[in-house]
Structure 1
Amino acid sequence: METKDPISELLSSLEQIVLARDVVNVAPAVQAEPAVMPEPQQLREITGMELDEFARVMGVSISSVKSWEAKRTRPSGSAQKLMQLLHANPNLGRQLLEQ
């Protein structure tokens, strides 16, 4: 029996929830423009999270977040997807911290 990575499953589920919500909120004849993703620091500020909280939600170290914010490195594909979800629902970060 194959076990699945719980983080991947969570990201997939959250993405489906956000996408389903977006489909319901958009009129069928009108497609919304894709939102421009803010930089990690802007997203962190939008969500109201401190550096350590953002790192915990993203599942990375504080130094990784600092590196993203300094534009020395880029978030992984999974991290970028989670950031898209956080951008679509800024309260999601707080909900994940409460888990």
Structure 2
Amino acid sequence: METREPIAELLSSLEQIVLSHQHKTLPEAVHVTVMPEPKKIRERSGMEVEQFASALGVSVSSVRRWESHAARPSGSAQKLLQLLHTNPLLYKQLVS
């Protein structure tokens, strides 16, 4: 039996929430071609940097580095940012 990383489980669950809300089925392969700006996503959510970092499960310094373009989010963080970009309802679920 294969074990999965906790973040992979979280992302899979979030995808299912998004897709069930939109009444769509999961495609065989999902390709994210454009990485939305973390700062724009955070500002759209109305969150402060500290709240946003907590909701994503990352450090405040990571969010600040992403927003200043000093670093790129990890692959799993990029996927979560993409989900937040496409479905604003996830903000409330992440902070509650």
Alignment partners' CA distance in 2, 1:97 and 1:66: 19
Q: Aligned AA for 2:24?
A: V
Distance (whole Å) between structure 2 residues aligned to residue 51 and residue 91 of structure 1: 18
- TM-score, normalised relative to structure 2: 0.77
Please name the residue that 1:76 is paired with.
Answer: 74
TM-score (norm 1): 0.74
Residue of structure 1 equivalent to 2:44: 46
Q: How many residues align?
A: 89
Maintained 8 Å contact 1:68/1:75: yes
**Residue identity matched to 1:13:** S
**In structure 1, what is the Cα distance between the partners aligned to 2:54 and 2:10?**
15
- Give the structure 2 partner of residue 11 of structure 1: 11
Counterpart-to-counterpart distance in 2, 1:85 and 1:61: 19
Is the 2:35–2:78 contact (alpha carbons within 8 Å) kept by the matching residues of 1? no
Q: Which runs of 4+ in 1 moved over 6 A?
A: none
Change over 3 Å in CA distance of 1:39–1:97 after alignment to 2: same
Runs of 5+ unmatched residues, structure 2? 26-31
Query: Aligned-residue CA RMSD in angstroms?
Result: 2.5
For residue 94 of structure 1, report the CA deviation from its aligned partner: 2.2
Query: Mind listing any 5+ residue stretches in structure 1 that lack a counterpart?
Result: 25-33
Q: Which has the larger Rg?
A: 1
Alignment of 1:84-95 (within 5 A): 84-95=82-93
Name the amino acid aligned to 1:10: L
Instruction: Indicate the percent of aligned positions where both proteins have the same amino acid.
Output: 61
Q: Secondary structure at the match of 1:38?
A: coil
